[in-house]
């Protein structure tokens, strides 16, 4: 039986934004929102996922005690919850005193081999904040991101999707480029896209090279 709050979220008599506001003010509601992730009702399940995602960005300390739960969500049968978990875990790395992320590093980055664009893009897009939070993992993160060139296309991941992923990678590299040791490898990677048929990728690579004083 769902709580009154979750029922209201389910029947839309309260919005995700209104419920998030309540949770911001009363952190003791967090377990209730976490329980909503298990709801059979998609409105509740995904509403709670979005609330927790937003909260993880604003108040990571409040959600860190539930880090193991979010790690378990990586195995969810619902892709949207897996995507939520990826984002939440990345946000919690800045307060990860017990180095829980370090122990799931390979599991997290194994999703780079996933057949869905959004899954891969989530890993790549979250890598900048992870590297800033955990600089000791920088070299490993860079090596993982450089492998995206070798991603196989699937019915859910076309060549154009690969270009989208490359664009995400360049944006992530830009976030933590000063702390990267293998800068030359990254520059070589970025230069491959200066003539890309994808306009935004072309622009991203040109701006990256200009910003970091590299000739195009």
**Average pLDDT of adjacent 10-residue blocks, the chain of 216 residues:** 86 93 93 96 96 96 97 97 98 98 98 96 98 98 96 92 97 97 96 96 97 74
Which of the listed residues 37, 66, 96 is the one where a domain comes to its end?
96
Which of the listed residues 96, 114, 140 is the one where a domain comes to its end?
96
Residues 84 and 64 in one domain: yes
Q: What is the DSSP string of 65-76?
A: GGHHHHHHGGG-
Spatial neighbors of 70 by CB under 8 A, at least 6 apart, are 52, 63, 85, 88, 89, 92
Kindly report the CA angle at 179 between 175 and 184, in degrees rounded to 5?
Answer: 90
Residues 116 and 159 in one domain: yes
Which of the listed residues 47, 68, 96 is the one where a domain comes to its end?
96
Residues 1 and 24 in one domain: yes
Residues 108 and 199 in one domain: yes
Spatial neighbors of 133 by CB under 8 A, at least 6 apart, are 93, 94, 96
Distance (Å, rounded) from C-alpha 204 to C-alpha 190?
9
Q: What is the pLDDT of residue 215?
A: 58
Distance (Å, rounded) from C-alpha 187 to C-alpha 212?
9
The answer for 116, left when phi > 0, alpha when psi is -120 to 50, beta otherwise, is beta
Distance (Å, rounded) from C-alpha 185 to C-alpha 190?
9
Residues 148 and 176 in one domain: yes
Residues 81 and 22 in one domain: yes
Residue 81 belongs to what domain range? 1-96
Q: What is the pLDDT of residue 1?
A: 63
Task: Please give the torsion angle defined by the CA atoms of residues 12, 15, 20 and 26, in that order, rounded to the nearest 10 degrees.
Answer: -60
Q: What is the pLDDT of residue 213?
A: 78
Q: What is the pLDDT of residue 52?
A: 97
Candidates 198, 197, 199, 204; CA nearest to 173 is 204
Distance of CA 130 to the CA centre of its chain: 9
Domain count, the chain: 2
Residues 86 and 137 in one domain: no
Residues 49 and 84 in one domain: yes
Residues 112 and 89 in one domain: no
Residues 149 and 212 in one domain: yes
Indicate the burial class of 38 (C-beta count within 10 angstroms; 0-12, 13-18, 19 or more): exposed
Residues 44 and 63 in one domain: yes
Tokens 């992730």 sit at which residue? 37
Residues 20 and 70 in one domain: yes
């Amino acid at each position: 039986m769902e709580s009154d709050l979750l029922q209201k979220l389910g029947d839309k008599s309260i919005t995700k934004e209104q419920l998030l506001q309540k949770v911001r003010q009363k952190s003791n509601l967090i377990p209730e929102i976490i329980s909503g992730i298990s709801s059979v009702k998609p409105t509740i399940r995904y509403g709670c996922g979005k609330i927790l995602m937003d909260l993880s960005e604003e108040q990571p300390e409040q959600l860190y005690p539930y880090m193991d739960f979010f790690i378990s969500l990586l195995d969810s049968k619902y892709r949207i919850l897996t995507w939520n978990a990826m984002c939440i875990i990345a946000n919690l790395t800045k307060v990860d005193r017990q180095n829980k992320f370090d122990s799931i590093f390979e599991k997290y980055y194994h999703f780079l081999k996933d057949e869905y664009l959004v899954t891969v893009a989530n890993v790549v897009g979250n890598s900048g904040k992870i590297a800033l939070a955990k600089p000791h993992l920088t070299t490993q993160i860079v090596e993982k991101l450089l492998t995206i060139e070798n991603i196989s296309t699937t019915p859910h991941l076309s060549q154009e999707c690969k270009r989208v992923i490359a664009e995400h990678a360049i944006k992530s590299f830009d976030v933590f480029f000063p702390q990267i040791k293998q800068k030359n490898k990254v520059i070589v990677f970025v230069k491959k896209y200066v003539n890309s048929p994808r306009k935004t990728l072309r622009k991203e690579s040109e701006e990256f090279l200009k910003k970091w004083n590299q000739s195009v």
